[in-house]
Structure 1
Amino acid sequence: MAAKEGALPEAAARLKRFMAAEPSARLESVRALTGLFREAQPREMAEESLFRDLLEILIKASNEIEQACKDSSELLDLDTCLVLTAECFRCLRNACVQCAKNQHVMRNLGLIATSIHLIKLLDRMPIKGEPLLTAFRCSLQFLGNIAAGNGDSQNSIWKCAFPDLFLTCLTYSDEKIVAYCCMVLFTCLNSEKVKELLDPRNLSVALHVIKVYKKQLESEWSFLIVTDYLLQCPELVKALYAKLSNQERVTFLELIMAKVSEKNSVTSEEMNVFMRHADFLAGCFQEKCEAVLKLTSAADAEDEEALVTIRLLDILCEMTSNNGQLEYLQTLPDLLQTAIDTLRLTHLAGKQAVNIFTTTHAMTWQEEISHPAVGFKAHLIRLIGNLCYKNKENQDKVYELDGIPLILDNCSIDDNNPFLNQWAVYAIRNLTEQNERNQQLIAQMEEKGLADNSALESMGLQIEKQDEKLILRSARKKPS
């Protein structure tokens, strides 16, 4: 233990002796410190003078890089400088781990501002070799560690780096630099800083985070930035949505879906945010719902605007599966009518020619996996069913809009589209719950042989009269 305790002062003294020596000598000294700082005790023992020496090395490196950028003939001699720079950042990065004391000392010495200045110089260098990329990556790791759990450091980084440095790093060609930048950005963000992203000059930062996620789907930090911060600001969601391409909107909607699908309990404030999202997304769906009709043509199977419509419907189905959001969405005046109108249009399109919206359209295995419109009508029926759940006003509205015959006429009787039947069962149950008028309508349709004569049976439903009341029940016997 005594030997370990003496190792840090010895390594620090050695670095001080070699401050004026060749970079290679200083490099070995810094490497020794990097190794020591992997353990907690040396981190706690580190003195300010050691960090002053590391700061001096970084300032000297900045001067050399700046001079080399002015005189390109000197760029070829920078590799040793860059390797030493990277090692200094590794050393500082390790020294910050779970050590508020060192974070405080480094920040007060100006290491954050110096590091950000150095990163900007690295970005300006015309030659992007591995030594430069390594130094760049280590510098961002250092910023992430000095900011971890330290509000003062987070604010200092934000003041020096936002928005320019974040934009530089988010658009960099190296995936690790982009990932580390997202780590720093996530660590520095809070609810107040998110509001700054609304400024048109700063909105690009949020836009590029979504672009990063679209390009690197396994990027955990970009995912967390969106789900934990950007989605907490409804105004920002609207501003981002307006600026995104249709492809990027699909990605953004998938991130919203991930957040909406979380089963965690939410506060009243969070529920209010969700309801504002629901209002906005319902409006987007109502505005663009007819775009999905483009998918009747095989040539338009990947139409981007239609794909956005499909994702919007998916989210609305998920939102109306949550009681808190459902009650709000049930009150929106036009959403239910839009769902019924869209179902009618897609059903008509499916009758006019054999396509993905044809009721008894037998999908190939490949279509079942890849066609974006598979299940669209089923989800429309699911949305209608959700909006009618224990809501007599909406149940009556479906009756008035001839929605019940439409739902029954959409049902497959050959099991090619099982989800259509599944959600039709659900919708009919919700439409007839404590609603005799709707029950009577279905009974009359059954008696008249409407809805392909077998629609109810194909769904496993049957209407029967009990004590002068119409009851909807399963027509299938339970297995013995």
Structure 2
Amino acid sequence: MAAAGALPAAAARLGSAVAAAPEARLESVRALAGLFREAQLREMAEESVFRDLLNILMSTSSEIEQAYKDSCEMVDLDTCLLLIAECFRCLRNACVECAKNQHVMRNLGLISTSVHLIKLLHGIQIKEELLLTALRCSLQFLGNIAAGNGDSQNSIWKCAFPDLFLTCLTYSDEKIVAYCCMVLFTCLNAEKVRELLDPRNLTVALHVLKVYKQQLESEWSVTLLELIMAKVSEKNPVTSEEMNAFMRHADFLAGCFQEKCEAVLKLTSAADAEDEEALVTIRLLDVLCEMTSNNGQLEHLQALPGLLETAIDTLRLTHLAGKQAVNIFTATHAMTGQEEISHPAVGFKSHLIRLIGNLCYKNKENQDKVYELDGIPLILDNCSIDDNNPFVNQWAVYAIRNLTEQNERNQELIAQMEEKGLADNSALESMGLEIEKGDDKLILRSVRKKPS
């Protein structure tokens, strides 16, 4: 551990260097950043240290602003960026598990100063490594000052949401995006979740999902999809503004699912049971099921090109994977252990059938599309009781009824399958359906319930 006497000496050098040349300030800040790796020295830090760091950040910020305002060349830009990065490293280190320092920094205004600096650095519009490092360190500082500190989280949210998040989430630098996500999720609570999912702010959530789609940084996407899922499945009436917002983003969510759906096949391996990309695919399917269960959003989603085809193809792939080897997609009638019950892919095929059924609800074009893609035999082959897919029989009943409603061709196909022994009559009966012969024609119809 560093000697306790080193901190006062380093703090004194920092105080003397505040008005000195950038190189001198840089050296004194760097020394302090190293000392603040020690928990005991963090607790010993005086408020004056953080006030000096604030003054350095503010003066450096002013130098950069003035230079760009006057359109003059700034010879020391590199040194300024190094100094900003080192100040944020120092502040970042001083915040680690130290509520005292978090409180002092927040009261001094370091959060608002940091947000201002991030916006300023973004405006420089250069992509050199020094600038990126300064941005990364600033976001790490915000993440650390927010950790476990509700007051700091509220302060960051007030200063940064949504503009700062929108700015940083669009960066091509993966670390900046990841640190921005860290800050966002550290600050979230129930009240902020409602604000995040407000139609005016939903773009922030969708940017996180775009990160998943482009860079496979899916750790945050799972959580966001959970939030979106909670919103779209709310029992409360959805306002027209909220409905329009979700419909605008439905194409994107469906596109994510279509592009990444095959990732779920990784779950055939027990070693990949927690694969992030596969988990996001599962949650995307859940969201799409909920969205297609809402009459206000159903028609739009029914018309999306490729979504129905993707659902059928994915059902076929998972069904085939379950037949080729014993895995989570294999139909089973007796659980062998708790591990299988808690597997993230439990119910995945049920939800695929649910989505197919929703997309075919009173939609002749989609009914016919399922016929052309041989989706009806596939659904019938997945209608038996399966402990890995709870309620699969009920969702198959629902899907078949939606597929056959006012669609004679689909009715005839199922009837012919039953006659040829390709469809299990007992399965049809369990669905409340039966085959009736008349006028040289096979008809699929609902079974009338007998009075008890």
TM-score tier after normalising by the smaller chain length: 0.5 to 0.7
Q: In structure 2, what is the Cα distance between the partners aligned to 1:340 and 1:32?
A: 72
Asked whether the 8 Å contact 1:203–1:240 carries over to 2, the reply is yes
Question: What are the Cα deviations for residues 409-429 of structure 1, in whole angstroms up to 9, with x where unaligned?
Answer: 579x9xxxxxxx9xx87x865
Counterpart residue number, 2:184: 185
- Superposed CA RMSD: 4.7
What is the Cα deviation at residue 138 of structure 1?
A: 0.9
Query: Aligned in 2, Cα 1:378/1:287: closer, same or farther, shift over 3 Å?
Result: farther
3-state SS of paired residue (2:5)? helix
Counterpart residue number, 2:230: 232
Counterpart residue number, 1:34: 33
Q: In structure 2, what is the Cα distance between the partners aligned to 1:61 and 1:432?
A: 77
Q: In structure 2, what is the Cα distance between the partners aligned to 1:392 and 1:309?
A: 18
Counterpart residue number, 2:255: 250
What is the Cα deviation at residue 73 of structure 1?
A: 1.9
What is the Cα deviation at residue 92 of structure 1?
A: 0.8
Asked whether the 8 Å contact 1:96–1:145 carries over to 2, the reply is yes
Q: What amino acid is aligned across from residue 156 of structure 1 in structure 2?
A: S
3-state SS of paired residue (1:65)? helix
Q: In structure 1, what is the Cα distance between the partners aligned to 2:293 and 2:71?
A: 56
Moved more, 225-234 or 306-315: 306-315
Question: What are the Cα deviations for residues 77-124 of structure 1, in whole angstroms up to 9, with x where unaligned?
Answer: 211111011000011111112222211111111100111111111122
Q: What amino acid is aligned across from residue 130 of structure 1 in structure 2?
A: E
Q: In structure 2, what is the Cα distance between the partners aligned to 1:213 and 1:122?
A: 25
1:406 to 407, 410, 413: 413
Query: Aligned in 2, Cα 1:428/1:257: closer, same or farther, shift over 3 Å?
Result: farther
Counterpart residue number, 1:174: 173
Asked whether the 8 Å contact 1:37–1:94 carries over to 2, the reply is yes
Question: What are the Cα deviations for residues 181-230 of structure 1, in whole angstroms up to 9, with x where unaligned?
Answer: 22211222223223224555433323322333222223423x14522433
In the superposition, the TM-score normalised over structure 1's length comes to 0.64
Q: In structure 2, what is the Cα distance between the partners aligned to 1:379 and 1:339?
A: 19
Q: In structure 1, what is the Cα distance between the partners aligned to 2:300 and 2:278?
A: 19
Q: Percent identity?
A: 51
Q: In structure 2, what is the Cα distance between the partners aligned to 1:285 and 1:27?
A: 59
2:387 matches 1:389: no
Q: What amino acid is aligned across from residue 250 of structure 1 in structure 2?
A: G
Question: What are the Cα deviations for residues 331-363 of structure 1, in whole angstroms up to 9, with x where unaligned?
Answer: xx987765998455443xx4xxxxxx3x5xxxx
Question: What are the Cα deviations for residues 398-444 of structure 1, in whole angstroms up to 9, with x where unaligned?
Answer: 89877675247579x9xxxxxxx9xx87x865433496x73xx49x8
Counterpart residue number, 2:428: 431
Q: What amino acid is aligned across from residue 65 of structure 1 in structure 2?
A: I
Q: In structure 1, what is the Cα distance between the partners aligned to 2:358 and 2:117?
A: 55
Asked whether the 8 Å contact 1:30–1:88 carries over to 2, the reply is yes
Q: In structure 1, what is the Cα distance between the partners aligned to 2:184 and 2:118?
A: 15
What is the Cα deviation at residue 170 of structure 1?
A: 1.8
Counterpart residue number, 2:448: none
Counterpart residue number, 2:293: 279
Q: In structure 1, what is the Cα distance between the partners aligned to 2:180 and 2:248?
A: 22
Structure 2 unpaired stretches of 5+: 233-237, 262-276, 319-343, 385-390, 444-452
Matched ranges for 1:364-375 at <5 A = none
Q: In structure 1, what is the Cα distance between the partners aligned to 2:171 and 2:188?
A: 20
3-state SS of paired residue (2:18)? coil
Structure 1 unpaired stretches of 5+: 263-270, 292-304, 351-356, 360-375, 414-420, 452-480
Q: What amino acid is aligned across from residue 251 of structure 1 in structure 2?
A: C
Counterpart residue number, 2:334: none
Q: In structure 2, what is the Cα distance between the partners aligned to 1:390 and 1:79?
A: 62
Q: In structure 2, what is the Cα distance between the partners aligned to 1:204 and 1:399?
A: 39
Matched ranges for 1:36-435 at <5 A = 36-221=35-220, 223-234=221-232, 238-244=243-249, 246=251, 249-251=254-256, 258=279, 261=282, 277=291, 279-280=293-294, 289=302, 305-311=304-310, 338=362, 342-347=366-371, 350=372, 357=373, 376-377=375-376, 380-381=379-380, 388-389=393-394, 406-407=413-414, 430-433=427-430
Q: In structure 2, what is the Cα distance between the partners aligned to 1:123 and 1:242?
A: 31
Query: Aligned in 2, Cα 1:173/1:288: closer, same or farther, shift over 3 Å?
Result: closer
Matched pairs, number = 379
What is the Cα deviation at residue 171 of structure 1?
A: 2.0
What is the Cα deviation at residue 54 of structure 1?
A: 0.9
Q: In structure 1, what is the Cα distance between the partners aligned to 2:402 and 2:184?
A: 48
Asked whether the 8 Å contact 2:197–2:231 carries over to 1, the reply is no
Asked whether the 8 Å contact 2:197–2:205 carries over to 1, the reply is no
Q: In structure 2, what is the Cα distance between the partners aligned to 1:393 and 1:23?
A: 71
3-state SS of paired residue (2:115)? helix
3-state SS of paired residue (2:74)? helix
Query: Aligned in 2, Cα 1:32/1:393: closer, same or farther, shift over 3 Å?
Result: closer
What is the Cα deviation at residue 393 of structure 1?
A: 9.5
